[in-house]
Structure 1
Amino acid sequence: MTTFSTHTLDTAPAAAKPILQNALKAYGFVPNLYATMAEAPTILEGYTTLSEIFDKADLSETERQIILMTNNRLNGCEYCMAAHTTLSQMGGVKEEVITALRNDTSIPDSKLEALRQLTIALNKNRGWLSNTQIEAVLAAGYTRQTILEVILGTALKTLSNYTNHIAETDLDAAFVSNTWTSPESQAAE
């Protein structure tokens, strides 16, 4: 099997080093996802830039994490589920929401559940939504802007989830307490 490097500040290509240094300042460590993406500085820059843009969306931290974690679960990304569980906890997302996202169960808040269902439909149907699905999220109190921002969050997770799949990124110590195993991995055991 082909292995991918987990770069350090010393081994990373020059174009990736400033991004890794910013991550070190922000998190106190360089996440293995970033260290792996450093192999191709353009994907690292794309991912971090898109992440900053997604943070500007007209969505709460909870709503952004619903979009991100739903995509992580659907894509079976164990690294990102653990990382975003930790980020959700740090960001004040309610435990009942985090548990629902990790276990693929309904979120008790009907508006947030409508957002989760929209994200599921968007991911599973590769962007093809029915009028019924669109009307359901609008009726829950979201807007057309929200629908487009779900696409943005889904694109962000495609970059990280696919990278983690092919690189088999090692989980950082900071996220180990929130390890998650995809149902597909469990079935294979």
Structure 2
Amino acid sequence: MTRIAALPFEQTAAGAQAQLEGIRKGLGFIPNTFATLAHAPAALSGYLALSQALGKGTLNAKSREVVALASSQVNGCEYCLAAHTLFAGKAGLSAADIRSARDGEFDAVARLTRQIIESSGRLSDAQLQAARDAGLSDAAIVEVVANVALMTLTNYLNNLAETAVDFPPVTV
């Protein structure tokens, strides 16, 4: 049972409604995680602003989905695993790639994501050098951290709220 209900569109603040309409236009519906974030319009706005900014960064859509999958796996977020499994498939990842990304083994981005979360960002010099040796620039490394932060927001919110999953379920 959901502990913080997704707000019905009509009950959201006017500013949040405009943002939710943008999400509906892009995805065809308003996912429950955004309707839950809408309880705090500033949080919704901040999430969307960072997400949009990162969409124009160094990491491509496939790499951002790898971060989302690895983060959601470590943080145990069933909602985000379901959503980002769907989005990762659309970004070109196979089922095997998705499983590997979830496990932090797919590529340097997946490994770095897992290391950042498991160490609370306290990577060793060797881990950081391994990411660079694997081809990640400092810009990409910083963007992995920013994407981890973005995912941590939704992972933690969904775990706390027990957000009802409105994406195809993921098999473990």
Q: TM-score, normalised by structure 2?
A: 0.92
- Measured at CA, do residues 21 and 2 of structure 1 come closer, stay the same or move farther in structure 2, by a change above 3 Å? closer
Deviation of the 1:51 alpha carbon: 1.0
- Measured at CA, do residues 84 and 2 of structure 1 come closer, stay the same or move farther in structure 2, by a change above 3 Å? closer
RMSD after superposition: 1.7
> Any residues of structure 2 matched to 1:156-175 within 5 Å, and which?
156-172=150-166, 175=167
User: What CA distance in whole angstroms lies between the structure 2 residues aligned with 1:2 and 1:81?
Assistant: 17
2:146 maps to 152
Letter in structure 1 aligned against 2:105: S
Is the CA contact 1:5–1:39 (under 8 Å) kept in the aligned structure 2?
Answer: no
User: What CA distance in whole angstroms lies between the structure 2 residues aligned with 1:105 and 1:117?
Assistant: 5
Greater Cα offset, 117-126 or 86-95: 86-95
Q: Is it true that 1:92 corresponds to 2:65 in the alignment?
A: no
Give the aligned length: 172
Q: Is it true that 1:54 corresponds to 2:54 in the alignment?
A: yes
Is the CA contact 1:9–1:21 (under 8 Å) kept in the aligned structure 2?
Answer: no
> Any residues of structure 2 matched to 1:33-182 within 5 Å, and which?
33-102=33-102, 104=103, 106-107=105-106, 112=107, 114-172=108-166, 175-176=167-168, 178-180=169-171
What percent identity do the matched residue pairs reach?
36
Is the CA contact 2:104–2:113 (under 8 Å) kept in the aligned structure 1?
Answer: no
User: What CA distance in whole angstroms lies between the structure 2 residues aligned with 1:46 and 1:124?
Assistant: 25
Deviations 1:58-111 (A, max 9, x none): 122221111111111110000000000001111222333112134x2633xxxx
Is the CA contact 2:70–2:104 (under 8 Å) kept in the aligned structure 1?
Answer: no
Unaligned runs of 5+ in 2: none
Letter in structure 1 aligned against 2:134: A
- Measured at CA, do residues 3 and 105 of structure 1 come closer, stay the same or move farther in structure 2, by a change above 3 Å? closer
User: What CA distance in whole angstroms lies between the structure 1 residues aligned with 2:61 and 2:125?
Assistant: 27
Runs of 4+ in 1 over 3 A off after TM superposition: none
Is the CA contact 1:100–1:106 (under 8 Å) kept in the aligned structure 2?
Answer: yes
Unaligned runs of 5+ in 1: 182-189
- Measured at CA, do residues 45 and 118 of structure 1 come closer, stay the same or move farther in structure 2, by a change above 3 Å? same
> Any residues of structure 2 matched to 1:15-34 within 5 Å, and which?
15-34=15-34
Deviation of the 1:46 alpha carbon: 1.0
User: What CA distance in whole angstroms lies between the structure 1 residues aligned with 2:34 and 2:77?
Assistant: 15
- Of the two, which has the highest radius of gyration? 1
Q: TM-score, normalised by structure 1?
A: 0.85
User: What CA distance in whole angstroms lies between the structure 2 residues aligned with 1:74 and 1:14?
Assistant: 35
